[in-house]
Amino acid sequence: MWLINSSIGRKVVMSVTGIALVLFLTFHASMNVVALISEDGYNWICEMLGANWYAVAATVGLAGLVALHFIYAFWLTIQNQKARGNNKYAVTDKPEKVEWASQNMLVLGIIVILGMGLHLYNFWWHMMAAELMEGAWAENAANGVYWIRQTFSCPVYSILYLVWLAALWFHLTHGIWSALQTMGWSGKVWFNRWRCIGNIYATLVVLMFAAVVVVFAIQGCGSCGGSCGI
């Protein structure tokens, strides 16, 4: 099957899964911003997207997309290293037109995956998982604002999330236009346009996430009582 056996096929899988994940991030960021406008509105969204079958199905599908994207990224990186052979050990100057993000996509991706693990613990575990397992900690499962306050009242979590979002921004600024190029939607005229659009889009999405972190961190500054080690 060419999606597995050819490098182009693997890049197509990377691109399709990447675009799907960008769309999810857009939805998630837009949903989070509601918490800055109306806490009741945000909690209503959380309740609607709780342990309902469609939310659970979407979560499973999302996990599959992340797994495919990461596996194929690792696969392509190993393939590229093998193709370079001994040249990978040669000391060379950095190519002028190669972005830093492009050269470090795997490292950035690993940081993004680790950040997702932290995010799943802070929110998914205390919300959807709590409802599904009917755990003793399920009392505030639908109270999304409560968990946002709990998380970002701790400066350590706030800093970790901002580092994660910075890595995500670098990953997206390269990934968006690269995916579109792989799909054949980037000719000579549109190449620079897609890069510009990708940078703006990635910046807006990351800023929406970061705004929630910063605003709630400021509101909860000092309220963690030193429980996070500060």
pLDDT digits (tens, 9 = 90+) for 184-223: 776 677 778 888 999 999 999 999 999 999 999 999 875 5
Residue 29 belongs to a domain: yes
Is the predicted pLDDT of residue 225 greater than 90, yes or no? no
206 in a structural domain = yes
Q: What is the CATH number of the domain that holds 205?
A: 1.20.1300
List CB contacts of 143: < 8 A, sequence separation 6 or more.
43, 46
For position 22, what pLDDT does the model report?
A: 94
Look at the chain and count its residues: 230
Write the CB contacts of 220 (distance below 8 Å, at least 6 apart in sequence). Answer: 149, 152, 153, 154
Question: Can you give the residue range of the structural domain that contains 156?
Answer: 2-219
Q: Do the domain assignments include residue 229?
A: no
Distance CA 18, CA 6 (A): 18
Does a structural domain hold residue 177?
Answer: yes
Summary mean pLDDT of the chain:
84
| 36 has pLDDT over 90 | yes
pLDDT surpassing 50 at residue 92: no
Q: Which residue has the higher pLDDT, 91 or 73?
A: 73
Q: Report yes or no on 228 lying in a domain.
A: no
- Residue 80 has a pLDDT of 72
Assigned domain for 224 exists = no
Which residues touch 71 (CB under 8 Å, ≥6 apart)? none
Are 18 and 12 spatial neighbours (Cβ–Cβ below 8 Å)? no
For residue 192, what pLDDT is reported? Answer: 82
Specify the amino acid at residue 141.
Answer: A
Structure-token match 């996990």, residue found? 63
pLDDT exceeds cutoff 80 at 181 = yes
Tally of structural domains, the chain: 1
pLDDT at 123: 94
Share of the chain above pLDDT 70, in %: 83
* pLDDT score of 228 more than 60: no
Condensed to tens digits (0 to 9), the pLDDT of residues 112-169 reads 999 999 999 999 998 988 888 876 556 788 899 999 999 999 999 999 999 999 999 9
Judge contact between 126 and 151, C-beta under 8 A.
no
Q: Is residue 147 part of a domain?
A: yes
More confident residue, 170 or 97: 170
Highest mean pLDDT among 97-101, 134-138, 198-202, 226-230 belongs to 198-202
Domain assignment of residue 36, yes or no: yes
